[in-house]
Amino acid sequence: MNSTMNPRVFWGATLIVLLLLGGAFIAPGASDLIFRHAQAWVIDRFGWFYVASVAGFLAMMVILAIGPAGQLKLGPDDAEPDFPYVSWLAMLFAAGMGIGLMYFAVAEPIQHYSAPPEAQAGTIDAAREAMVITFTHWGVHAWAIYATVGLSLAYFTYRKGLPLTLRSGLHPLLGKRINGWAGDMVDIFAICGTLFGIATSLGLGVSQIGAGLAYVYDFPNGTTARAILIVVVMGLAMLSVLSGLDRGVRRLSELNLVLAVLLMLFVLATGPTLFLLRAFVQNFGLYLDHFFVRTFTLYAYEPRGWMADWTLFYWAWWIAWSPFVGMFIARISRGRTVREFVVGVLLVPTAFTFLWMTVFGNTAISLDLGTAAGAIANAVDADLSTALFQFFHYLPGFTITSTLTILLVGVFFVTSADSGSLVIDTLASGGADETPRWQRIYWCIMLGAAAMLLLLVGGLGALQAATLVAALPFCFIMILLAFALARQTSADLEGTTIHTDVAPIRGRLKRLFTSASRKEIVEQMVRNGLPALQTVRDAMIAEGWSECRIDQEEGTITLSIGAPPERRFIYHLVARSRPLPAFTALDAPEAHRSLVWWLAAQVEGGEKPRDLTGFTQGQITGDLLEQLERWRLS
């Protein structure tokens, strides 16, 4: 297969990544210092911006889900979902934050318990605060970030017919300029943010795998051993990448979900079961009670480093991951409604995550207060990577559960790497679904190299700093994506059958009981029909269909796609008339009593014409895309 890359995006992103990694390799000490200074500057100047932006993304997703836009489908109105619901949820869970759940399930609650930002350490109040903070970091705020990018991508790709790239989400703001340097910069920033965000997760994963092998089997856990682990697991990720989304990523994601549920149920059964069930309910109540306070907490009156180490790092981490996870969930969400998408993405993974964190976090706190006598907290303080294995030491079947954990982290590592390389390759190829194998392998190697070099430079601290800095430019892009999505959904809702005010109803009644003139139909064709055809034509040209043209005559507009001797797609918009019945409720002027005019849409060689009289530009575009899809599948 020939290369499908967008050269400006592919090589532009490559150059930026290589410059950063080259500097880290040549001068590791200086690079680590630069990363940390940049992190401190971003936190000092833009910490408030991260917090306000995340709150805004969450508010917008809720508004879209409960509002009239929730009925809109991510695709034609008759589109069906590509994946079964359970498989869809499994892929959401595995791609979203799998490695992080394994790494922080014990470490974060224990750290907040032993060093809380407000409560007295080691107390019941500290335990409550620890779980509220953990729920906040891993709850709907994170998934709202993912949903914002994912919904924008899915909406403009499957409903508006644009390529599956970040730039497509800015079409309502930039128009044709998304195909120029502005669109290139958006995709380049998305690639860089994605690469460093995933590299952070891979760094966490390899640290935990290495710590587990050393803790359980006494394997060496130095820098060389971790580098070897990265090479081995990235090799497995390449095999998964080459097998594609349906076979590789889907099957590994489903395997992950099964293993994770089994591990969680084991801890729930062998731990303080009744206490955990009670704690889950109370943790959720405390989370709701503190929801708005935690959403906007910045410690502006009492500045502390805790904010940068935890909340701001998480918000930056999720933002850096959002091009990856957003595009991934967009690719698997065609055919779902906006409401179904938002509810599924926000609530289902969050509910599972809350149960997961309660089972592991509250069990760890309970053990540390009793049998462990502070040993788990000491292990977390010494090395976060060993926290989960120290935790399993106090439960039955230590070797089995620890081995299963290592396997689970390894599979999460593979799914994150292969999903990430597929998404980056899609961004670098202008939204192409099928790309050459060497391109996917290329980005897999880049991900492994980034994780390895940043670990060598400054360990997890360097990875954290790189993530926080890389997320800043993309946060601005996300705000533009959210604004463009709100603007487009509002435009698409105009003229639909769901109305709440009098004016639109009067407009529809007028069309029902008053016949249109030929002049009115021609004006509608020029005002709404021509822009709709031009939008689809431009998108097809951007996809490589060079033979696309629009012909316009008096009372007729035609879009042609393809060239002889190939099969051609020809879509006509025509002002037509038909006799008016002798007995009718229509109120037509006397001079036009015998005819009624209507806007007819028909595919040449297809079914009978469809009446699009009164349709908006967005609705005509939707009809055209639906017919185009039927032509492609026929």
* pLDDT score of 253: 65
Confidence of residue 291 (pLDDT cuts 50, 70, 90): very high
User: Last residue of some domain: 489, 518, 539?
Assistant: 489
More confident residue, 544 or 136: 136
Q: Is residue 484 part of a domain?
A: yes
Whether 462 and 530 map to the same domain: the answer is: no
Q: Does residue 580 carry a pLDDT above 80?
A: no
**Domain hosting residue 441, numbered range:** 7-489
> Do 543 and 438 fall within a single domain?
no
- In this structure, the answer to whether residues 463 and 533 fall within a common structural domain is no
Q: What confidence category does residue 585 fall into, taking pLDDT thresholds of 50, 70 and 90?
A: very low
pLDDT of residue 633: 64
pLDDT bracket for residue 460 (50, 70, 90): low
Looking at mean pLDDT, say which of 62-66, 518-522, 627-631 comes out highest: 62-66
Looking at the fold, whether 408 and 542 belong to one and the same domain comes out as: no
pLDDT of residue 300: 87
Predicted confidence (pLDDT) per residue in 57-102, tens digit: 999 999 999 999 988 988 877 777 877 777 777 666 655 556 778 8
**Is 494 a member of any domain?**
no
Task: Pull the structure tokens for residue 560.
Answer: 């042609």
Instruction: Look at residue 567 and tell me whether its pLDDT is greater than 80.
Output: no
pLDDT band with cut points at 50, 70 and 90 for residue 366: very high
Q: Which CATH number does the domain housing residue 330 bear? A: 1.20.1740.10
Query: Of 454, 489, 524, which residue constitutes the final position of a domain?
Result: 489
Instruction: Give the contacts of 502 (CB within 8 A, at least 6 positions apart).
Output: none
Same domain? 520 vs 462: no
**Ranked by mean pLDDT, which of 241-245, 399-403, 591-595 comes out on top?**
399-403
Give the Cα separation of 557 and 525 in Å (integer): 8
Query: In this predicted structure, what is the pLDDT of residue 274?
Result: 95
| Interatomic CA distance for residues 137 and 115, integer angstroms | 16
Residue 432 has pLDDT above 80, yes or no: no
Are residues 362 and 228 part of one domain? yes
d(CA 215, CA 393): 10
Q: Are 170 and 317 in a shared domain?
A: yes
Give Cα 119 to chain centroid, integer Å.
Answer: 35
Dump pLDDT digits (tens) for 154-179.
Answer: 998 888 878 888 888 898 888 878 88
Share of the chain above pLDDT 90, in %: 22
Into how many domains does the chain fold? 2
What's the pLDDT at 504? 43
The Cα 282–Cα 149 span in angstroms is 32
Q: Is the pTM of this model over 0.85?
A: no
476 shares its domain with 514 = no
List, as own/partner pairs, every contact residues 97-100 make where C-beta atoms lie below 8 angstroms and the sequence separation is at least 24, other chains included. 97/138, 97/142, 97/321, 97/353, 98/256, 98/260, 98/412, 98/415, 98/416, 99/201, 99/202, 99/204, 99/205, 99/208, 99/409, 99/412, 99/413, 99/416, 100/138, 100/201, 100/204, 100/317
Residues 506 and 484 reside in one and the same domain: no
pLDDT at 518 over 60: yes
The pLDDT value recorded for residue 413 is: 77
- List alpha helices for 358-382, DSSP H: 363-369, 375-382
State the greatest distance between any 2 C-alpha atoms of the chain, in Å, as a whole number: 96
Q: Is residue 2 part of a domain?
A: no
| The one-letter amino acid at 78 | D
Write the CA distances from 507 to 497, 526, 530, 611, integer angstroms.
11, 19, 22, 17
Residue 607 above 50 pLDDT?
A: yes
Total number of residues shown for the chain: 634
- The sheet with strand 595-603 has its strands ordered as 548-553, 556-561, 569-579, 595-603, 610-611
Distance from C-alpha of 630 to C-alpha of 571, rounded to nearest angstrom: 12
3-state class (DSSP) for residue 595: strand
Is residue 536 included in any domain, yes or no? Answer: yes
| 29-38, 258-267, 505-514, range with greatest mean pLDDT | 258-267
Instruction: Say if 384 falls within a structural domain.
Output: yes
Do 201 and 328 lie in a common domain? yes
pLDDT digits (tens, 9 = 90+) for 318-329: 888 888 788 778
Q: How confident is the model at residue 457 (pLDDT cuts 50, 70, 90)?
A: low
Q: Does residue 582 share a domain with residue 541? A: yes
In the structure encoding, which two tokens stand for residue 148, read together? 């914002």
Q: H helices within 155-218, ranges in order?
A: 171-174, 181-217
Average pLDDT, the chain: 82
Q: Does residue 412 register a pLDDT over 60?
A: yes
pLDDT band at 503; cut points 50, 70, 90? very low
Q: Which of 185-199, 339-353, 484-498, 521-535 has the lowest mean pLDDT?
A: 484-498
Q: Which of 489, 521, 542 is the last residue of a domain?
A: 489
**Do 485 and 506 belong to one domain?**
no
CA distances to 515, 530, 531, 560 from 550, rounded to whole Å, are 29, 9, 11, 6
4-57 pLDDT tens trace? 678 888 899 899 888 877 877 777 677 767 777 887 888 888 889 999 999 999
pLDDT of residue 360: 95
CB count within 10 Å of CB 16 equals: 16
